[in-house]
Amino acid sequence: MDAHRRQLQRFDPDIANAITAEERRQQDGVEMIPSENYTYPEVLAALGSVLTNKYSEGYPGRRYYGGQEFTDRIENLARERACALFRAEHANVQPLSGSPMNQAVYFAFLNPGDTVLAMDLSHGGHLTHGAPVSHMGKVFKFVRYKSAPHQGGAIDFDALITVAKETRPKLVLCGYSSYPRDYDYGAFKKVADEVGALTMADISHIGGLVAADAMRNPFDSGFDVVTTTTHKSLRGPRGGLILCKKEHAKKIDPSVFPGLQGGPHMNNVASAAITFKKAAEPEFKQYARAILRNAKALAAALMAEGAKLITDGTDNHLLVIDTVASFDLDGRAAEEALDRIGITTNKQIIPDDPLPPLRPSGIRLGTPACTTRGMDEDDMRQLAKWMVQALRAPQDAAATERTHREVIAMCRSHPVPGIS
């Protein structure tokens, strides 16, 4: 234990012990929530640094407080590295997380009441893409498009252009948190061009996969704005990143500050810069490809064991099991059954789900975190077997206990980086 942890242990054992217990939970469980990951020790070091002490409202060279010679250097490095990684012309590295990141983009370009064309929540779209329960859903008018889950999740672009012509959106938004396919960004751009709309892609889930060129980059199809969080497949600190064409910088930057936020969290900005440097290394490309291979192996093994996946497979890092159709279990019961064997997933609504969000029809799984700890396709096949056993017999206490021990043994042979 390092000196700072010992000091914390002495001063506040309640919190210190909870952190230690969380370390053990992360070490001894298989993390399959697709938006979670284990960050780098270098990121943890920068997050816990004195940068947390500094106010830096404004942008490099144009700050409202003194003492910015080092924060300016850090933010410039973060911006340059982000642009190089994603082939972007401009980067704003200040959004505190994914929700303010997307809000800042909406307010940069839209007036209250303007129309946005976005993916339906139950088909994989995200809460911040105008779900009726979000504030954004009350400020702007979100019109929905859907996928065809029984045709592999294809998007019907003929229907999309018809809706676009009827509703004249100012922004065409694509992006998802539970859609297991890649997008044809060129087709979205064509729809947007037909109606004179701007294009935005929220690649939060797949940021690392796009950075590694393992999935398509929306800028290659001429998109205006791309947003991503930095803590999912990118493996960085919790935070948001807005990338855009140079011509949009004068709207994006003031929308983040002073429009929406105050001082940026410079310890996060430094950690994001470190993350972008890591993601530019050749090892990161291998890591991204391993995430995809693992997801395909997991999907194939689950389907071979009789699980019904929405879209019948995956092209990215995630997959969604219809647990009602597969095991006659709702998503909450399935999540709890897997928790009991040490595999963490999340309950998930499926396309046009007849069940409510807290007891939906499915669960969502992803491979970024277990790939970070070095698990491979054989491990995925083993995990699929254990998961299906647990979902078929959730009340079998002896089998649950036995499998949980085996899961812990698998985890201990794949230590989590950054936890000693």
Contact track, ligand DSN, 163-182, x by CB under 6 A: --------------x-----
Q: How far is the CB of 74 from ligand DSN (least distance, A)?
A: 26
95 binds ligand DSN (CB under 6 A): no
Give the per-residue contact string, 97-116, with ligand DSN (x = CB under 6 A; - = no).
-x------------------
Minimum Å gap between C-beta 109 and ligand DSN is 22
Residue 55 among the catalytic residues: yes
Q: Which is nearer to ligand DSN, 98 or 368 (CB)?
A: 98
CB nearer ligand DSN, residue 71 or residue 177? 177
Catalytic residue among 55, 181, 332, 377: 55
Residue-wise DSSP of 34-48: TT-----HHHHHHHT
Instruction: Say whether 238 is catalytic.
Output: yes
Q: Write down the catalytic residue from 81, 170, 189, 232.
A: 232
Residue 377 annotated to the active site = no
* Nearest distance from C-beta of residue 321 to ligand DSN, angstroms: 16
User: CA separation (Å) from 348 to 121, 324, 332, 334, 394?
Assistant: 11, 12, 9, 10, 18
* Bridge partner residues of 322 (DSSP): 362
Nearest distance in Å: CB 36, ligand DSN: 8
Q: Closest distance between ligand DSN and the C-beta of residue 177, in Å?
A: 3
- In the chain, count H helices and then E strands: 17, 16
The residue annotated as part of the active site, out of 146, 181, 238, 308, is 238
C-beta of 240 vs 394, nearer to ligand DSN: 240
Residue 82 gets the label, from left (phi > 0), alpha (psi -120 to 50) or beta, of alpha
Note whether 371 binds ligand DSN by CB under 6 A.
no
* 130 lines the binding site for ligand DSN (CB under 6 A): no
Q: Is 89 part of the annotated catalytic residue set? A: no
Verify binding: residue 35, ligand DSN, rule CB under 6 A: yes
Q: How far is the CB of 258 from ligand DSN (least distance, A)?
A: 25
Residue among 92 and 177 whose Cβ is closer to ligand DSN: 177
> What b/e readout covers 55-74, taking b as 16+ CB neighbours within 10 angstroms?
bbbbbbeebeeeebeebbeb
d(CA 243, CA 114): 22
Q: Of 393, 100, 86, nearest to 244 (Cα)?
A: 86
> How many angstroms from the chain centroid is the CA of residue 56?
27
Residue with tokens 């948001």: 240
Q: Reduce the DSSP state of residue 395 to 3 states and report it.
A: coil
Between CA 294 and CA 133 the distance in angstroms is 34
Structure tokens at 378: 């054989």
Residues contributing to the site for ligand DSN (CB under 6 A) = 35, 98, 177
